[in-house]
Amino acid sequence: MGEFTKAVTDASFEADVLKSSKPVLVDFWAEWCGPCKMVAPVLEELAKEMGDQLTIAKVNVEESPDAPTKFGVRGIPTMILFKDGVPVATKVGALPKDKLKTWIESAI
């Protein structure tokens, strides 16, 4: 994974996301997804800039199919912001950095 984002699997999802003491933005992605690759460096930058406010985690839907199924992920990239173990906001598709940051700030 990236230097500032955290790789999360089905096995670690509960501990890393649902039981996190701070908000967690989960990016559901796959290797073959072009838009996922476009948004990855943006998420790295945001993870670096906003690391004290939230964790940005990445779940590969091919390797960990349970979490995306549980939270109704149909298309990727899908980003779900979890706060206190519950999803509070969802965005589907790649967004420019400024829009993504504004969305995160409004949700946390």
Active site residues: 33, 36
User: What letters, b where the CB count within 10 A reaches 16 and e where it falls short, cover 43-75?
Assistant: bbbbbeebeeebbbbbbbbeebeebbeebebee
Spatial strand order of the sheet with 24-29 comes to: 6-7, 55-60, 24-29, 78-83, 86-92
Phi, psi of 99 (to 5 degrees): -70, -40
